[in-house]
Structure 1
Amino acid sequence: MLPWKRMFRPLAALLLATAALTVPASAAHASTAPSHGWNDYSCHPSAAHPRPVVLVHGTLGNSIDNWLVLAPYLEHRGYCVFSLNYGQLPGVPVFYGLGSIDKSAEQLSAYVDRVLASTGAAKVDLVGHSQGGMMPRYYLKFLGGAAKVNSLVGIAPSNHGTTLSGLTHLLPYFPGAEYLLNAATPALAQQIVGSDLMKRLNAGGDTVPGVHYTVISSKYDEVVTPYRSQFLSGPDVKNILLQNLCSLDFSEHVLIGTTDRIAFHEVANALDPAHATRTTCLSALS
C-alpha cells in the first residue's frame, strides 16, 4: 500500500465515525413523510400526561427516522408527541442536525413555543438522542427554556463532547481537517471534546434549576466516548447505565436511541416518575 493511502485510512475512519453521531434508520423517509400519527397539533394533553413530549433527533437524523419506534411507544401510553427538524444546511435534504448548535437551539425554542401554543400546556418534556440530548441544554441555559421545560431526557447525549473512540486525537495530523469540519458541518466540530461550545455549555455547572434531567447511556457506545462523558452532574440528575438494568442489552449508539425498548422504558419512567416501574430485560417486551 502506498504511504499516502496508509495516512488516509485514519482520516477516513474519523469521518465515518463522525457521520455516525446520529441515527437515521432509513434515508428513504424524507422529512416531509407522514409522521405516523404523531405531530398532531389538535392533540390536547390528558390529566394523566399533562405535558406534550418533544422529540429531538441527533446529528444527521430527522424528525421521522429517529422516532419510528419511540414516538408510537409514547403515543400508545397516552402522550401528545411532537418532533422537529433542526440544523439544516443549505442544499442538504433529509439529513439534519448539521448546522451550528446555538442556531439549532433557537429553532428548538421556536418549536417549543409552537407546541405550547397549540396544546395549551404550560410546559413540555424534551427527549433527545445524541446531539438531540445535548443541544436542548443550550436552550435551557441561554435561551430561557428552563421556564418552559419540565424535564430533559437524553439518550446517549454528547453532553461533554466526544473523542470518537480516540479518533479526534488524529485531527492535528491532518492539516485542514479541523477547519473543514468547522466550515462544512459546524455541529460535528462543536461536539468534539474541548470545543468552544462545549466549554461554554458546561461552564458553571451542567444543569439549570427547575428542570429534571435523565441521562440513559450504554457502555457499548462507540460514538459518544467515553460513555461516562454523557453523564451530568447536578442536584436533579439521574444517570442510568443500560447494562446495570439488563446485562444482556448490547445496544450501541444508534440502537439505544432508535429501537431499544429497555431504554424507552426508562424514558417512560422519567416522563412519569410517580408511576415508574422497575426496568429489566423483560421491559423489552413491554
Structure 2
Amino acid sequence: MKVTRAVSPLLPLCQRLLPGRIAGLSLALLKATALEIAILAGHLLLYPTGITPERRPAPNPPGTPTDLTDSTDTGTRTGTDTRKGTGTGIDGTPDTTRLPTPTRPPVVLLHGFIDNRSVFVMLRRSLAQHGRQQIESLNYSPLTCDIRTAAELLGRHIEEICERTGRHEVDIVGHSLGGLIARYYVQCLGGDVRVRTLVTLGTPHSGTRVVPLMNAHPIVRQMRPGSGVLDELCQPAPHCRTRFVSFWSDLDQLMDPLETACIEHPDLLVQNVRVSGIGHLALPVHPAVAAGIRQALDAEETEARPAAARPAAHADGLTVA
C-alpha cells in the first residue's frame, strides 16, 4: 500500500533498536498508524457529504413482482439487463418476459460513533461493482445516547426498506458502534426475522476500556465491559436465526482488549475473522476487507443449523498489509 511507504526511512532504525519480534510488531503498528492518519484525513474531507440522509428510491408500484429489482440507489447496475422483449417501457406495454434476478437481499450499512454514512463510500462502491443492486446507508443522530433506542430506530428503517423493496430480509454491515446497535436489534428486538447476515467491523461486543475520559457520554458507558446493554447481549438466544460474521483487527487502537471485537456466544452462529495489518478506521475502507465482507454476504448455508447450541467459529486470519 502506497501510504505505508512514508514510514520506510524509520524501518532500519527500528530493526536495529528492537528485537526481531518486537520490531516486526512495531513496524506493523507504524504502518497501520500511517494508514489510519491518511484515512482519517480523507474521511474528514468526505464527512460533510454524509451528514444528510441519502435519497431513497421510489417504492415499487402496485403489482410489481417483489422478486424483481433492476435498479439501485447508487445508480450502479450489474451490467446484466433483466428485461427481455421489445415492449419494455417505450410503448407503455407491460413486460411479460423477464429473466429472474439474483435473490440477494438489500445491504444496510450502519456507521459508528459520531460518524455518518460517508465512511462507507469505498465499501458500497465495491459491493455495487460486484452485483449488489440494493445498498442503503443509514444515519443515526450523533446525539444518540442509548443503544436500545438506536436499535428500535434501526428496526423501523429495516421494516420500511423491506416494504419498499418487497424483500423479507436484509443483510447488515455495521462498523464499530453500528455493529453493536444492529446486534441488539437482532438479538433483543426480534430482528433475526429480518436480518439474514450481520457483519460487524471492529465492534466492541464484550466492551472496550479505551479512553476512560469518554465515560461522560452515556452511549460510551454502554460500550464498557459489564454494562447493562452488554449483559443483555450475553443472555441466552437459542432461537436466533441470524448468521454473524465479526471482523476484528490485531492493531485496532479502539478495542481494549483486542478480542472484545469477537463474538463469543454459545447460541449464535458466528464466524470471527482476524484481520492483521490495519487499524480501526481502515476496516470499512480497505479493499481486502471489502472482499472478505462480500464473501461473507455471499456465503450459502450448506447445512441446516442444528437445534443444539453451536460455538463460535474462528476463521483463518486475513492479512492486508
Q: TM-score, normalised by structure 2?
A: 0.63
% identity of equivalent residues: 25
Query: What is the aligned counterpart of 1:29 among 42, 49, 52?
Result: 49
Q: 2 CA distance for matches of 1:75 and 1:194? A: 39
Q: 2 CA distance for matches of 1:83 and 1:200? A: 26
Q: Deviations over 1:121-180 (max 9, x none)?
A: 11000101001111111111221211111010001111111011xx43xx6xxxxx74xx
Q: Residues 208 and 262 from structure 1, CA distance in 2 versus in 1: closer, same or farther, beyond 3 angstroms?
A: farther
Q: Residues 126 and 208 from structure 1, CA distance in 2 versus in 1: closer, same or farther, beyond 3 angstroms?
A: farther
Query: What is the aligned counterpart of 1:199 among 212, 219, 231?
Result: 231
CA RMSD of aligned residues (A): 2.9
Query: What is the aligned counterpart of 2:286 among 244, 255, 260?
Result: 260
Query: What is the aligned counterpart of 1:242 among 266, 275, 280?
Result: 275
Q: 2 CA distance for matches of 1:193 and 1:127? A: 23
Query: What is the aligned counterpart of 2:114 among 53, 60, 64?
Result: 60
Q: Residues 273 and 318 of structure 2 are in contact (CA less than 8 Å); yes or no, is this contact kept in structure 1? A: no
For these two proteins, the number of residue pairs brought into alignment is 226
Q: Residues 208 and 255 of structure 2 are in contact (CA less than 8 Å); yes or no, is this contact kept in structure 1? A: yes
Q: 2 CA distance for matches of 1:41 and 1:152? A: 26
1:68 alignment partner, SS class: helix
Q: Deviations over 1:172-214 (max 9, x none)?
A: xxxxx74xx1xxx321121112222212222336x85211110
Q: Residues 105 and 220 from structure 1, CA distance in 2 versus in 1: closer, same or farther, beyond 3 angstroms?
A: same
Q: CA deviation at 1:42?
A: 5.7
Query: What is the aligned counterpart of 2:153 among 107, 113, 128?
Result: 107
Letter in 1 for 2:295: N
Letter in 1 for 2:252: D
Letter in 1 for 2:255: V
Q: Residues 266 and 279 of structure 1 are in contact (CA less than 8 Å); yes or no, is this contact kept in structure 2? A: no
Q: 1 CA distance for matches of 2:130 and 2:149? A: 32
Q: 2 CA distance for matches of 1:162 and 1:280? A: 22
Q: Residues 53 and 274 from structure 1, CA distance in 2 versus in 1: closer, same or farther, beyond 3 angstroms?
A: same
1:144 pairs with 2:190: yes
Q: 1 CA distance for matches of 2:176 and 2:239? A: 20
Q: CA deviation at 1:238?
A: 0.6
Q: CA deviation at 1:30?
A: 4.2
1:86 pairs with 2:140: yes
Q: Which residue of 2 aligns with 1:50?
A: 104
Q: Residues 108 and 173 of structure 2 are in contact (CA less than 8 Å); yes or no, is this contact kept in structure 1? A: yes
Letter in 1 for 2:283: I
Q: 1 CA distance for matches of 2:150 and 2:318? A: 35
Q: 1 CA distance for matches of 2:287 and 2:317? A: 10
Q: Greater CA radius of gyration, 1 or 2?
A: 2
2:108 alignment partner, SS class: strand
Q: Deviations over 1:1-39 (max 9, x none)?
A: xxxxxxxxxxxxxxxxxxxxxx79223324227x5xx85
Q: Residues 62 and 41 from structure 1, CA distance in 2 versus in 1: closer, same or farther, beyond 3 angstroms?
A: farther
Q: Which residue of 2 aligns with 1:119?
A: 165
1:160 alignment partner, SS class: coil
- Pairs within 5 Å for 1:168-247: 168=212, 178=215, 181=216, 185-204=217-236, 209-233=240-264, 234=266, 235-243=268-276
Q: Deviations over 1:93-142 (max 9, x none)?
A: xxxxx421111001100110111011111100010100111111111122
Q: Deviations over 1:223-278 (max 9, x none)?
A: 022121111134511100012xxxxxx21011112x11111111101110149xx9
Q: 1 CA distance for matches of 2:317 and 2:294? A: 10
Q: Which residue of 2 aligns with 1:93?
A: none
1:159 alignment partner, SS class: coil
Q: 1 CA distance for matches of 2:230 and 2:151? A: 14
Q: Select the structure with the greater relative contact order (CA < 8 A; seq sep ≥ 6).
A: 1
Q: TM-score, normalised by structure 1?
A: 0.71
Q: Residues 43 and 119 of structure 2 are in contact (CA less than 8 Å); yes or no, is this contact kept in structure 1? A: yes
